[in-house]
Amino acid sequence: MIPLQIIYCQKRVYVILVTMLKFKNIALHFFIIVLFISCKNEPKKSSETVITSTNEVAIKYAEGFEITAFEDYKAITLKNPWPGSNLTFKYALVEKGATLPNAENYDAVVEVPVKRIVVTSTTHIPSLESLDEIGALIGFPNLNYISSEKTRAQISDGKIMEVGKNEDLNTEILLDLAPDAVVGFAVDGKNSTFSILQNAGIPVLYNSDWTETSPLGKAEWIKFFGALFNKEKQADSIFNSIETAYLSAKEIASTANERPTVISGAMFKDIWYMPQGESWGAQFIEDANGNYLWSDSKGTGSLSLSLESVLEKGHGADIWIGPAQFTRFEDLQNASQAYTQFNAFKNKEVYTYNLKKGKKGGSIYFELAPNRPDLVLQDLIKILHPELLPEHTLYFFSKLQ
């Protein structure tokens, strides 16, 4: 039984590590090693708490994580941290003063509820806001990406610090902030900053919400944050409301008499990129009762197609969803006359999510849509079957100007 105190001892050396980074003194390297060893030799406080009961937290759609609740702590098991990885990470979320058995079996140990947190993706922001925990956010990479007005007010008040960029996080600032946890993501697991933070005793937890292909699976990651703040019931209630709205909209869409044909994406350097048939974007179109012309393609990423093949198969499509960066018909036409050959272009049935931006130019869609798939689905039903949701006003999407 290893007390959480041993884990926290390492956090007290972060100031020393900052000094080491500034002056690169070899003696400090040695001193830190000695200090870490001395931390581990501190007397262990005994605990009379016996942790025996367990309870699996219900995760219905997300495939990237599991939560197991014990009497005095919770365990998050993270699967599929990035595409193609077969690694599994385990995180322990421990109540203050509790004793954690087998702490060495965990990749990070966090005292909960978390009071000071750094997150690294705009998709994390809506979860913090929904749980009324945006006040706990103290750092974020590239603040201009954040669109939420509520969080931007926190930034303006100087309550959230700029911590660099995802691929080049500012270690000194992060160590100085001394967060209770850093929630990061990785495309290949080679972020050296995360290793430095972990060695300094600051817990780093991967969040792989972006790898989910189910719309409701992405939204269910609010339960990940609910566990960090001891707000599991609130997170569950929020998700249940989103799930109910999504499934209700899907049921309404199923009553449509026709299924409009749909294309997506646009060209980049003569290659047309569009969602693969098992992707997040394709699933939305399916649930909105649309006929995505590439729905039979395998994979969860993007297709790379020639203009000729897209024109042959999709020129007669009724609706064009998400034409990459384009927001005006004139821009599409100027980019390539080939775009004008599509019926969706001719009939002005092209819809984008890029017209709605935050104050600093961040995408509202990429920030909020993964957390609110119900709103995305309602938008698509309004586009494909406007008669089914006559009162709905498009939230994310707009017709090209």
Paired residues of 77 in beta bridges: 66, 90
pLDDT confidence of residue 165: 86
pLDDT confidence of residue 324: 93
What value does the mean pLDDT take over residues 125-146? 97
pLDDT confidence of residue 45: 36
CA distance 261 to 265: 14
CA distance 49 to 104: 19
Structure tokens at 255: 């009553």
Q: How confident is the model at residue 56 (pLDDT cuts 50, 70, 90)?
A: confident
Among the residue ranges 5-19, 177-191, 212-226, 297-311, the one predicted with the least confidence is 5-19
Whether 37 has a pLDDT exceeding 80, the answer reads no
Whether 207 has a pLDDT exceeding 60, the answer reads yes
CB-based contacts of 139: which residues, under 8 Å, 6+ apart?
118, 160, 161, 162, 163, 173, 174, 177, 179
CA distance 279 to 217: 12
Q: Which of 235-244's residues contact partners 24+ apart within 8 Å by CB, and which partners? A: 235/127, 235/130, 235/131, 236/58, 238/130, 238/131, 242/216, 242/371, 242/372, 242/373, 242/374, 243/60, 243/216, 243/219
Give the pLDDT confidence of 303-337 residue by residue, as tens digits: 999 999 999 999 999 999 999 999 999 999 999 99
pLDDT confidence of residue 71: 87
pLDDT confidence of residue 166: 78
Give the pLDDT confidence of 139-185 residue by residue, as tens digits: 999 999 999 999 999 999 999 999 998 778 999 999 999 999 999 98
pLDDT confidence of residue 55: 79
CA distance 276 to 186: 22
CATH code for the structural domain at 47-242: 3.40.50.1980
Whether 21 has a pLDDT exceeding 90, the answer reads no
Following DSSP, what letter does each residue of 151-166 receive, concatenated? HHHHHHTT-SEE-EET
Beta strands in 312-364 (DSSP E): 319-321, 350-352
pLDDT confidence of residue 10: 42
For the chain, the C-alpha Rg in angstroms (whole number) is: 24
Contact assessment for residue 183 and residue 207, using Cβ atoms and an 8 Å cutoff: yes
Q: Which CATH architecture has domain 255-399?
A: 3-Layer(aba) Sandwich (3.40)
Q: Specify the 3-state DSSP secondary structure of 61.
A: coil
Whether 187 has a pLDDT exceeding 90, the answer reads no
CA distance 373 to 269: 31
pLDDT confidence of residue 57: 83
Residue 149 has what DSSP assignment? H
pLDDT confidence of residue 104: 93
Whether 47 has a pLDDT exceeding 50, the answer reads no
Cα dihedral across residues 188, 193, 198, 202: positive or negative? negative
Contact assessment for residue 264 and residue 288, using Cβ atoms and an 8 Å cutoff: no
pLDDT confidence of residue 179: 97
Comparing 47-242 with 255-399, is the CATH topology the same? yes
Mean of the per-residue pLDDT values of the chain: 88
Whether 6 has a pLDDT exceeding 60, the answer reads no
Structure tokens at 305: 């197609």
Whether 102 has a pLDDT exceeding 80, the answer reads yes
- Which run of H or of E encompasses 17? helix 14-23
* Alpha helices, DSSP H, located in 188-279: 192-199, 215-219, 222-228, 232-253
CA distance 322 to 313: 17
pLDDT confidence of residue 64: 95
pLDDT confidence of residue 335: 95
CB-based contacts of 143: which residues, under 8 Å, 6+ apart?
155, 160, 162, 360
Q: Indicate the domain borders of the chain.
A: 47-242, 255-399
**Of 19-28, 192-201, 273-282, highest mean pLDDT:** 273-282
Q: What percent of the chain lies above the pLDDT cut of 90?
A: 78
pLDDT confidence of residue 8: 38
pLDDT confidence of residue 54: 63
* pTM of the predicted structure, to 2 decimals: 0.85
